[in-house]
């Protein structure tokens, strides 16, 4: 069950409260001979994704149409069938744009039913990837709107993506997400509803999709996994509209990473395989290396050492072919050392502590952005503790704690807590100092 952001948006436009809608629906029902007793709690359930029974969806349309002085359809309130309010791929591209922008608006307004929605699993999680892989394609994405979209407008979106990505790397997703979402609402939404040719529209959808992916990354980093997943699904739909298979594969890599976090290991393997298979020659060496490395981690968690080691070899081979300056902006996160830390995690799961330590040390010895360096130090500290090298683990943890100061990231806080827990259990010399430094980093308000 996914939040109904379209209904939320149109209620806001109509200026009607939850209790007000319930009362008007009850009144409209009486005119049809229905004895309805809805209250504001029922509207809250509808906003969370529950579908009203019987004639109630039509009554909602009737009430809102009278309020707005224009026709209102079931699709307008997110209750059209088939597809429902949760599928970013259902219906026309124009309908998708309205659902997408409604989500951005609800996120910016901090609607609890959107922020607290859980991630979907099973078929609802798989369908967006399947629909990206398979026909039909978007034959023509041109649109006629009020605002003429220019190449300069698209360049602004590209520049914004780069800006917010750097902000995320330095400050974390919790500090960055509100800014990205605000930009999507104020700048990207009017452009998607504007006027553009098919060629311009494809570039517009690509630039917007890359920016929406950043919003998803920031939501993931904030522990809002249902919201992050919806942003990733939106980005995948925008990638399909753009015709850029490489961008779609990048978005799937983000879904693979989230699947690993959610311990959906078989899904992670399958998603990565879908990206590699469908994008084919559009997969760059950097993206291929990351997809293979994440597959290796998934196989390792599943206890399949053969599958893990084969993917490690493929990841390392792909990494050797990376040529800086020949990669799209989105794969810039695949910096030198990233594959090493991914491989270290896979080997740690397989029990190969020597190999894991070798790769983790290589990752730490390679320059990385601030956020990436914290993760690398956390991995090396964990491995050193597992190997019984408490002094080295403590020294590495001290570096990690100092590097993490000022970052507003739930994922980094999780890593800090995990390392602190391991250090405390170890109880060797210097542990107290390292734990105190970690506590100091954790006390920074988010």
Q: Based on the fold, state whether residues 223 and 160 are members of the same structural domain.
A: yes
Does 399 or 256 have the greater pLDDT score? 256
Q: Based on the fold, state whether residues 53 and 102 are members of the same structural domain.
A: no
CA distances from 312 to 288, 298, 307, 435 (A): 11, 11, 9, 33
Give dist(CA 175, CA 134) in Å, integer: 36
Domain stop point among 27, 56, 86? 86
Domain stop point among 33, 55, 86? 86
Q: Based on the fold, state whether residues 65 and 111 are members of the same structural domain.
A: no
Q: Say what the pLDDT of residue 88 is.
A: 44
Q: Based on the fold, state whether residues 64 and 29 are members of the same structural domain.
A: yes
Beta-ladder partners of 195: 148
| Position 162 pLDDT exceeds 70 | yes
Under a CB-based contact definition with an 8 Å cutoff, are residues 170 and 368 in contact?
no
Q: Based on the fold, state whether residues 100 and 189 are members of the same structural domain.
A: yes
Q: Based on the fold, state whether residues 69 and 204 are members of the same structural domain.
A: no
Q: What is the pLDDT of residues 76-96, one digit of tens each?
A: 888 886 444 444 444 589 889
Q: Based on the fold, state whether residues 70 and 112 are members of the same structural domain.
A: no
pTM for the model stands at 0.84
| Residue 142 CB contacts under 8 Å (≥ 6 apart), including other chains | 196, 197, 198, 200, 201
Domain stop point among 67, 86, 105? 86
- For the chain, what percent of residues have pLDDT higher than 70? 95
Q: Give the chain's domain count.
A: 3
Give dist(CA 138, CA 107) in Å, integer: 28
Q: Based on the fold, state whether residues 76 and 98 are members of the same structural domain.
A: no
Q: What is the pLDDT of residues 29-72, one digit of tens each?
A: 998 888 999 999 999 999 998 999 889 999 999 999 898 888 88
Q: Say what the pLDDT of residue 369 is.
A: 86
Mean pLDDT, rounded, of the chain = 91
Q: Based on the fold, state whether residues 65 and 174 are members of the same structural domain.
A: no
**Residue 189 resides in a domain:** yes
**Residue 158 resides in a domain:** yes
Domain residues for 226? 92-243
Q: Based on the fold, state whether residues 191 and 119 are members of the same structural domain.
A: yes
**Residue 152 resides in a domain:** yes
Q: Based on the fold, state whether residues 238 and 219 are members of the same structural domain.
A: yes
Give dist(CA 336, CA 286) in Å, integer: 10
* Res. 340 pLDDT band, cuts 50 70 90: very high
Q: Based on the fold, state whether residues 132 and 77 are members of the same structural domain.
A: no
- HSE-up of residue 163 (Cα within 13 Å, Cβ side): 9
**Residue 387 resides in a domain:** yes
């Amino acid at each position: 069950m996914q939040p109904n952001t379209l209904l939320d948006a149109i209620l806001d436009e109509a200026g009607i409260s939850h209790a007000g809608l319930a009362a008007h629906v009850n009144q409209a029902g009486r005119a049809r001979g229905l004895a309805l007793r809805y209250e504001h709690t029922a509207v809250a359930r509808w906003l969370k994704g529950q579908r009203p029974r019987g004639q109630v969806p039509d009554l909602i349309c009737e009430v809102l149409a009278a309020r707005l002085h224009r026709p209102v359809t079931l699709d307008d309130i997110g209750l059209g069938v088939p597809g429902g309010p949760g599928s970013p791929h259902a219906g026309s591209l124009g309908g998708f744009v309205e659902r997408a922008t409604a989500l951005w608006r609800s996120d910016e307004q901090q609607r609890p039913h959107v922020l607290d929605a859980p991630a979907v699993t099973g078929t609802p999680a798989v369908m967006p990837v399947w629909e990206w892989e398979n026909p039909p394609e978007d034959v023509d994405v041109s649109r006629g709107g009020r605002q003429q979209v220019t190449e300069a407008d698209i360049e602004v979106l590209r520049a914004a993506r780069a800006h917010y990505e750097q902000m995320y790397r330095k400050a974390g997703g919790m500090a960055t997400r509100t800014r990205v979402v605000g930009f999507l609402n104020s700048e990207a939404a009017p452009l998607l509803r504007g006027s553009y040719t098919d060629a311009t529209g494809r570039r517009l959808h690509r630039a917007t999709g890359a920016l929406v992916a950043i919003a998803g990354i920031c939501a993931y980093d904030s522990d809002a996994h249902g919201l992050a997943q919806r942003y990733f699904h939106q980005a995948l739909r925008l990638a399909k509209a753009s015709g850029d298979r490489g961008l779609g594969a990048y978005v799937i890599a983000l879904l693979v990473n989230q699947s690993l976090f959610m311990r959906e290991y078989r899904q992670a393997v399958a998603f990565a395989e879908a990206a590699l298979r469908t994008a084919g020659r559009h997969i760059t060496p950097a993206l291929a290396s990351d997809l293979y490395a994440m597959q290796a981690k998934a196989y390792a968690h599943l206890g399949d050492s053969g599958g893990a080691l084969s993917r490690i070899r493929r990841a390392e081979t792909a990494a050797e072919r990376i040529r800086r300056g020949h990669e799209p902006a989105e794969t810039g996160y695949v910096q030198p050392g990233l594959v090493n830390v991914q491989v270290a995690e896979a080997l740690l799961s397989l029990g190969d502590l020597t190999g894991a330590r070798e790769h983790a040390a290589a990752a730490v010895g390679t320059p990385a952005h601030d956020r990436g360096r914290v993760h690398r130090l956390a991995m090396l500290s964990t491995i050193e503790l597992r190997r019984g090298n408490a002094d080295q683990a403590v020294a590495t943890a001290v570096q990690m704690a100092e590097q993490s100061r000022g970052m507003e990231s739930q994922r980094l806080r999780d890593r800090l807590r995990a390392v602190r827990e391991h250090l405390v259990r170890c109880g060797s010399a210097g542990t107290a100092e390292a734990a105190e430094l970690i506590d100091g980093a954790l006390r920074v308000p988010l």
